[in-house]
Amino acid sequence: MGDNDQVSHWNAPVAAGPVDADVTIPGSKSLTNRALVLAALADGPSRLVGTLRSRDTDLMVGALQALGTRIEGPSGPLGPGDTDLVITPGELRGADVECGLAGTVMRFVPSVAALATGRSTFDGDPAARVRPQATVLDALRALGAAITGGSLPFTVDGTGSLRGGRVEMDASASSQFVSGLLLSAARFDEGAELVHVGASPVPSGPHIEMTLEMLRESGVAVDQPTPSSWRVAPGAIAAVDRVVEPDLSNATPFLAAAAVTGGTVRVPHWPAATTQPGDAIRGILRDMGASVTLEDADGAGHGTLVVVGPERLSPVDLDLSAIGELTPTVAALCALADGPSRLTGIAHLRGHETDRLAALAAELGAVGCGVTELDDGLEITPAPLHGAPWRAYADHRMATAGAIIGLVAPGVGVDDVESTSKTMPGFTAMWADMLAGQG
């Protein structure tokens, strides 16, 4: 299902020299989809400026529209290129929800559907049907929802309200299980108290911090009594106009291009302070020997991030548990470092768009890199790389990792580069534009 059925083959271009480019990154998927849910549940119309328009965000727009929310462009009906959106909440009704391969849709929208009147059916791409989902559905059942099924496809029979209350859940597989309940919880009759009871901490903590910050901006009373519990008081969700930051995780392949070619990449509008996990790339690149500076900050705390690559990349030993989505980019960098690296704390990546640990081990190995798959990570031992087919596994971040490797290894062919449309439409054109400025 979806617009990625047509698989294309892309010969990743080789960098003829150090890159030298300014790269403007579209808005954050994580911020966009959270803002859309909050706006759909708010007490009045909201305006979102600079949203991402990609497969994942368009799926969220489609889901919320089907459930009764009006979403328009600046001058009327929503157009495909509109990034400034006007969201007007409506009476929530049952609908057919297409999730594609978007974890935020399959995990954030069921709570909204539980507040609707009528039956909602959820389904998505074949690969989405094996992604972990039962945790959020079981939690919603414990909070009073009528749900049939434990993974895609499933149904939610809404009655127009949800009791809410206290629920224990094991969110070890994804922070989205927590965020998916927190975003709607103020609209539950009793609010919600969520308690994580898994043996491992909830991964990707910055994404939960992002959710909490946006809830507070929307006037929701939310607190975190312990590192593994969250409470949301019942009440209105205020309509808030927001400007969406650039997607910092989507910026990381371009910054990596500067690092691996000894070049320079400048990304404007980078926030000096943010809850986005992608901001951690600054410290990682410094650890690997790159120069990283934030220049020309404006009054809103945004500047131009400038990354200058080193002569040789240094190896690293990193716990990526909080920033697992950066793993494909970091693994590609490690494959081009001058010594072995170790990446740990990322067992949860086995339940992402694909098993990213197995996928990275297979594809880095195919181009000649030494890779050992650990229970919770990867050991990467660089070796001379050569061209080979690179499988993307319908995973946008696997595709961009292949692009990074292709900068220095001629003959890397990415089999499904269109998977990047999940979060970054036009990636190949942006990549080509960056390389047009090689030194």
Q: For residue range 115-161, what is the model confidence (pLDDT) as tens digits?
A: 999 999 999 999 999 999 999 999 999 999 999 999 999 999 999 99
Kind and range of the H or E run holding 88: strand 85-88
Q: What percent of the chain has pLDDT over 70?
A: 97
* Residues noted as catalytic: 325
- Tens-digit pLDDT profile for residues 72-85: 999 899 998 899 99
Distance (Å) of CA 283 to CA 207, 233, 357: 18, 36, 22
Locate 368 and state its tokens.
């000649």
**pLDDT digit string, tens, across residues 188-227:** 999 999 999 998 999 988 999 999 999 999 999 999 999 9
pLDDT mean over 421-429: 93
- In the block, residue with structure tokens 């994942």: 56
Distance, in Å, from the CA atom of 38 to the CA atom of 46, rounded to the nearest integer, reads 9
Phi, psi of 60 (to 5 degrees): -65, -45
Can you give the pLDDT at residue 136? 97
pLDDT one-digit tens code per residue, 36-58: 999 999 999 999 999 999 999 99
302 close to 312: Cβ distance less than 8 angstroms = no
Is the pTM here over 0.95, yes or no?
A: no
- Closest to 182 in 3D by CA, of 199, 198, 169, 200: 169
What confidence tens digit (pLDDT) does each residue in 287-346 have? 999 999 999 888 778 999 999 999 999 999 999 999 999 999 999 999 999 999 999 999
pLDDT at residue 6, rounded to an integer:
40
Residue 28 clears pLDDT 90, i.e. is over it: yes
Dihedral of the alpha carbons of 199, 203, 206, 207, in degrees to the nearest 10: -110
Helices (H) and strands (E) in the chain, counts: 12, 24
Distance CA 248, CA 325 (A): 11
DSSP assignment string, 389-412: EE--TT-HHHHHHHHHHHTTSTT-
Residue 92 phi, psi (nearest 5): -75, 135
Q: Is the pLDDT of residue 5 over 80?
A: no
Residue 354: the pLDDT is 79
**225 CB neighbour count, 10 Å cutoff:** 10
Confidence tier at 3 by pLDDT (50, 70, 90) = very low
Which pLDDT belongs to residue 439?
56
- Residues 226-258: pLDDT tens digits? 999 999 999 999 999 999 999 999 999 999 999
